[in-house]
Amino acid sequence: MKIGWIGIGVMGSSMVKNLLSAGHECFIFTRTKSKAEALIEAGAIWKDSPAQVAENADIVGMIVAMPSDVESVTMGENGVLSTMKPGTILVDFTTSSPLLAKKIAQFANKKDISTLDAPVSGGDIGARNATLSIMVGGDKASFDKLDDFFNTLGKTIEYQGPAGAGQHTKMVNQILIATNMIGVCESLIYAEKAGLNPENVLKSVGSGAAASWSLSNLAPRIIKGDFEPGFFVEHFIKDMGIALTEAKAMGIELPGLDMSYNLYKKLADEMNMGRKGTQALYFALKK
């Protein structure tokens, strides 16, 4: 297939590599061209704007930072929807607002273009190994057409419902991670203070009732002193903010999420760690 792609960050670069390895022709754009050099060397074709990326693509995929970026890249003056052909499909892998996903779908439908909001979970490891969990909302018929595309990028692919449903599902995912990361960091701090060997502790608790993806993948990074991003703190703050806004609109309170949001805000605003990985929460909790 001819695939357009916007966004070559921690996740996007590995996702495009997997598409290239599967034999697809990829047209790419990102704000900083130097970040795309390795992909260009691997066979990706550079374009100078989102609109140019979309001109000849059967599918356009994107994974950018913020909802404002999503809106600009899709519906902006030089966005992909200005040049995508009728019958093509836009897949947004960004974690963004459910309301925005619906707005984009309505805008695209007027041009006979299908959209899928398809946020992912699994971090840099999942993107690299093509084991991402992909949560999809939008047009069901379009989802059914993209089996090979999604299976090139992930392992668990589930259709969740109409436009916005993928984003709502990702909010559930982020709520689970938010409070779980507090537990992961506090448990390691406790183990250290008790004089235990943290690596041995993980061997005991990592396969029992306390097991989680964060415990298996991020706790070892904390122990090694590795706080580089698989997923940026500042992006996680964005996600939690969306979830809190949606929760308020639904009339529900999420005190655990609210506590995690405030801890991460402290990490970014007071400790200048917004560009570190989410496991850096350890520093906001360690006294």
DSSP letters spanning the chain: -EEEEE--STTHHHHHHHHHHTT-EEEEE-SSGGGGHHHHHTT-EE-SSHHHHHTT-SEEEE--SSHHHHHHHHHSTTSGGGTPPTT-EEEE-S---HHHHHHHHHHHHTTT-EEEE--EESHHHHHHHT-EEEEEEE-HHHHHHTHHHHHHHEEEEEEEESTTHHHHHHHHHHHHHHHHHHHHHHHHHHHHHTT--HHHHHHHHTTSTT--HHHHHTHHHHHHT----SSBHHHHHHHHHHHHHHHHHHT---HHHHHHHHHHHHHHHTT--TTSBGGGHHHHH--
Residues 67 and 92 in one domain: yes
Amino acid 214: pLDDT: 96
Amino acid 148: pLDDT: 96
Last residue of a domain, which of 117, 143, 162? Answer: 162
pLDDT tens digits for the chain (287 residues)? 999 999 999 899 999 999 999 999 999 999 999 999 999 999 999 999 999 999 999 999 999 999 999 999 999 999 999 999 999 999 999 999 999 999 999 999 999 999 999 999 998 899 999 999 999 999 999 999 999 999 999 999 999 999 999 999 999 999 999 999 999 999 999 999 999 999 999 999 999 999 999 999 999 999 999 999 989 999 999 999 999 999 999 999 999 999 999 999 999 999 999 999 999 999 999 97
Q: Which pair of tokens denotes residue 165?
A: 């449903």
Residues 30 and 157 in one domain: yes
Residues 202 and 266 in one domain: yes
Residues 176 and 144 in one domain: no
Task: Give Dmax over CA atoms of the chain in angstroms.
Answer: 63
Would you please indicate which residues are annotated as catalytic (active-site) residues?
Answer: 170
Residues 182 and 134 in one domain: no
* Full residue range of the structural domain in which residue 83 is found: 2-162
What is the Cα–Cα distance from 281 to 194, expressed in whole angstroms? 20
Q: Per-residue pLDDT tens for 229-239? A: 989 999 999 99
What is the Cα–Cα distance from 47 to 54, expressed in whole angstroms? 9
CATH number of the domain enclosing 157: 3.40.50.720
How many domains are contained in the chain? 2
Q: Per-residue pLDDT tens for 5-58? A: 999 998 999 999 999 999 999 999 999 999 999 999 999 999 999 999 999 999
Amino acid 102: pLDDT: 97
Amino acid 110: pLDDT: 96
Closest to 149 measured CA to CA, from 141, 157, 160? 157
Amino acid 75: pLDDT: 97
Residues 157 and 176 in one domain: no
What is the Cα–Cα distance from 109 to 17, expressed in whole angstroms? 30
Residues 11 and 152 in one domain: yes
Amino acid at 159: Y
Amino acid 10: pLDDT: 87
Last residue of a domain, which of 108, 131, 162? Answer: 162
Residues 137 and 177 in one domain: no
CB 102 within 8 A of CB 67: no
